[in-house]
Amino acid sequence: MRTVMGFVVGVLLIMPSGAWAKIGGGDIVFRTAGTANVTFSHDAHVGKLGVKCKECHYGIYTTVEGHRSATMADMQKGKSCGACHNGKKAFAVTAQCDKCHQ
């Protein structure tokens, strides 16, 4: 019994902790004044596109609670969504407004 418990503990210690983490984080709705809201899909970014969590967390974004709002001007300067949606890495925040504002 002691050997089995030792094995289980050993396996748990060497497994990456991310193995138990939920991939993604669901959809996040950003309420915007004067235009349609923006729904950010973790599934689309993490699941379908393969963006790694650390590419956004904890640099560009922190958590929902710690996130500060960003204006379109901020994004055009490479902040928030504009860090990737710059027309080079992903479609530009200035292109096809309805892709985000739905």
pLDDT at 17: 40
Predicted local confidence at residue 23, as pLDDT: 58
Q: What percent of the chain has pLDDT over 90?
A: 36
Mean pLDDT by 10 residues, the chain (102 residues): 50 42 74 90 91 84 73 92 93 91 90
pLDDT given for residue 30 in this prediction: 87
Q: What is the pTM of this model?
A: 0.68
Digit-coded pLDDT (tens) for 69-92 = 888 999 999 999 999 999 999 999
Range 51-86 burial, b when 16+ CB lie within 10 A, else e: eebeebeeebbeeeeeeeebeeeebeeeebbbbbbb
Domains of the chain with CATH codes = 21-99 (3.90.10.10)
